[in-house]
Amino acid sequence: MDMKVKGSKELLTEVIDTGLCTLCGACAGSCPYLVSYKGRIVLLDNCTLSEGQCYQYCPRTYTDMDAISQQVLGMPYSSAELGITKEVLMARSTDANIKGRAQYGGTVTAILSLALEEGLVDGAILTRMSDDKTPSAFLARSRKEILQGAGSNYMACPVLEVLNHIPKDSTERMGVVAMPCQVLALSKMRNEPPQNRINIGNVKLVVGLFCTWALSLNGFHQFLLENLDLPRVIKFDIPPPPANRFDAYTSSGKISFPLDEIRKFIMPACTYCLDMTSEFADISVGSVEGIEGWNTVIVRTDVGADLMKMAKKKGKLEVNTLPPGNLAHLKEASLLKKKRALKEIIAKSGDRKNLLYVGLQESIIDNLLA
């Protein structure tokens, strides 16, 4: 494993060209050379620097998991299935307006709105669906704008490019809703703050999403175009197992596709991802298997805990215990993702000692591979 920070040239050869890029957007927009465009990271001009932030903060270049964990969560990387947690519970928004638009329980929208109301953040970076049903990241500064971010379309979106565009001298405090790869990139930034561009200290809240995989824009959007009247689509959903379906809700009803038809559009990079539950976020949010209209919520940091407490107190969230069966199942799924990813990584590198980007203690690796 090469632990050295390198430049954009190596970012291309080691990450992008090898199918490791998750399209998180951490490399894009922080300089004029790298941008994202229609589901790809594009190098517009050749940058000659031998070390760059693009390579440094990429979640698929070498990452010292202990150092990151120490910085964000105050202790080294945990071998627990769900990472370091303060509390795992289930929640849903009490706001009918939010619930009507949300993917599941509307928890993310509710806590972001609260963070904004309470002045914890001045804005939040989220993803919304454009009219053509492609995802686009944006900076929401009002409750109304935050609501636009509700719902998912399962496509990878370079959210962190928007963050990189915020001027360094901005004093706006930010929340970010991020996928596990994006949470990892943010954590790398928090661990070694970028010098020339964004002020990472302004990121006050990271809400991580659960993620099994994301779909690549190019193939999947073409699939949608060919199979659906996109302007009429209201919402997409992949219900928890054992549904094994991809559902599109349109103005004239639900259209379902077998999940296997969709799987071919999974980002190749997702195969090598260990993290299902955004282990370095302040709060991680996902669905609850078998209980519709609720979210699983993992509280990881003090910031996350305070916000949850306030949400409960102000009646923004209805909170409940996650049934033990669900918790067990969640852990099992999370562990499975780690094991599978590690095996894929070793298969790719061809060397058990070379885990590409994963900097973990031998003992943890041995446990996961056992």
- Closest separation between CB of residue 43 and another protein, Å? 7
Give least dist CB 28 to another protein, A.
Answer: 12
Sheet holding 245-250, edge to edge: 233-237, 245-250, 253-258
Minimum distance of another protein from residue 155's CB (angstroms): 18
Distance CA 170, CA 167 (A): 5
Alpha helix stretches (DSSP H) within the chain: 8-10, 53-56, 65-73, 96-101, 107-117, 143-148, 159-164, 180-191, 217-227, 259-263, 302-313, 324-349, 362-369
Report the nearest approach of another protein to the CB of residue 46 (Å).
Answer: 8
Which of 197, 312 has the CB closer to another protein?
A: 197
Nearer to another protein, 32 or 350 (CB): 32
Q: Are 27 and 35 in contact (CB under 8 A)?
A: no
Task: Give dist(CA 90, CA 332) in Å, integer.
Answer: 17
Backbone φ and ψ of 329, nearest 5°: -65, -40
Take residue 155 and report the two structure tokens written for it. Answer: 């496509």
Cβ contact 324:311 at 8 Å: no
Minimum Å gap between C-beta 11 and another protein is 12
Residue number, 27 or 368, with CB nearest to another protein: 27
Q: How far is the CB of 51 from another protein (least distance, A)?
A: 7
Q: In terms of CB distance, is 52 or 180 closer to another protein?
A: 52
Q: Based on CB atoms, which residue is closest to another protein, 14 or 282?
A: 14
Whole-angstrom distance, CA of residue 310 vs CA of residue 341: 37
Q: What residues make contact with another protein under the rule CB under 8 A?
A: 30-33, 35, 37-38, 40, 42-49, 51-53, 195-197
Q: What are the residues facing 287 on neighbouring strands?
A: 295
- 26 versus 124: smaller Cβ distance to another protein: 26
Cβ pair 334, 212 in contact under 8 A: no
Q: How far is the CB of 6 from another protein (least distance, A)?
A: 12
Nearer to another protein, 47 or 139 (CB): 47
Cβ-proximal residues to 218 (8 Å cutoff; 6+ apart), any chain: 38, 39, 40
- Show the beta-strand stretches assigned E in 130-216: 135-140, 174-178, 203-209
Residue closer to another protein, measured from CB, 46 or 227: 46
CB of 197 to another protein, least distance (A): 5
